[in-house]
Amino acid sequence: MNTVVEKKPRLTTSAMIASIAGEGQRVKTAPFGKALVELAASRPEIVGMTADLAKYTDLHLFAQAYPERFYQMGMAEQLLMGAAGGMAKEGLIPFATTYAVFGTRRAYDFIHQVIAEENLNVKMCLALPGLTTGYGPSHQATEDIAMMRGIPGLTIIDPCDALDIEQAVPQMAAHNGPVYMRLLRGNVPLVLDEYDYSFELGKAKRLVDGDEVLIISSGFMTMRALEVAQALKADNIGVAVLHCPTIKPLDEVTILAEVLRKPRLVVVAENHSVVGGLGEAVASSLLQNGVAPARFRLAGLPDAYLDAGALPTLHDRYGISTEALSGRVKAWLG
């Protein structure tokens, strides 16, 4: 008997930089750029700055709308952050963009000393966070949160979707002090509008409830967690999802209350290394407050240099696709 094996479509190089949106999923194009253009109409102190990546961080929309308020700094991330700090000292609110690997690794000392130590009003919106590109370790910012969490007074945002980004932009501008946002650019999924959700800086929010598993998540892993919750319904496994778009300061009150509300497997899902990210922040908070879940697992990226390749393949390989995460949760439940 001949067995017919269904072949998956061959992935092309473009899949290495593809949108994280699934096939047929609702998306919004350039939510960051559009939100910033809208906000800047009533906030003349807002300026846009980039390190030669306006088109690839959606800041080109701001440049087109306000050319006199746009600054192209060239491929010089240290200069970008240093100049942003200087502009903030003059009363402006710079929104600075580049790729997360370049902005954090290359310009860390400038962020630490020029911007954060003086609590300057710089908003850093850095693209390609975690495993959102297949171009290997040179472009995959899998340790950016770990680095930035170590900077005192720096607010860190890891938005899930277009709605999160749109609503975060004005709150970032209203917040007094430096902010780091992991930027999703291009065609960004739209998910959270189906869950009676609104972004609040510093707040975690439960999106769905369930009795067997609690997934605490940030970034697009909240989208994955919601998909897992839906998928595991077929196995009569109830999955609650607590979305934590603000990594620092962490909403410990809500997290502790949700963990204590009922005994469940607690899983922290994040598009970041298991070292130094949301998972370790949650674990530290639980232990320091005397809360010890019966079962606690981290569903993040491994402490390793990740492969290059097509994003769907890499998400499966490293356990952050919907199918892979579902399998991990079921295995942990035993």
Separation of alpha carbons 228 and 215, rounded Å: 10
* Ranges of H-type helices in 67-215: 77-89, 100-101, 108-110, 144-149, 162-174
The strand pairing partners of 28, in sequence order, are 188
- Pull the structure tokens for residue 120: 């300057």
Asked if 77 is an active-site residue, the reply is yes
In the sheet with 155-157, reading across from the earlier edge strand, the strands are 70-72, 46-50, 93-99, 123-127, 179-183, 155-157, 246-248
Catalytic-role residue among 77, 143, 166, 270:
77
Q: What is the C-alpha separation between 283 and 289, in angstroms, rounded? A: 10
| Residue 90 near residue 140, CB atoms below 8 Å | no
Q: How far apart are CA 115 and CA 122, in angstroms?
A: 7
Q: Which of 246, 194, 193, 239 is nearest to 218 (CA)?
A: 246
d(CA 331, CA 334) in angstroms, rounded, equals 5
Active site amino acids: 77
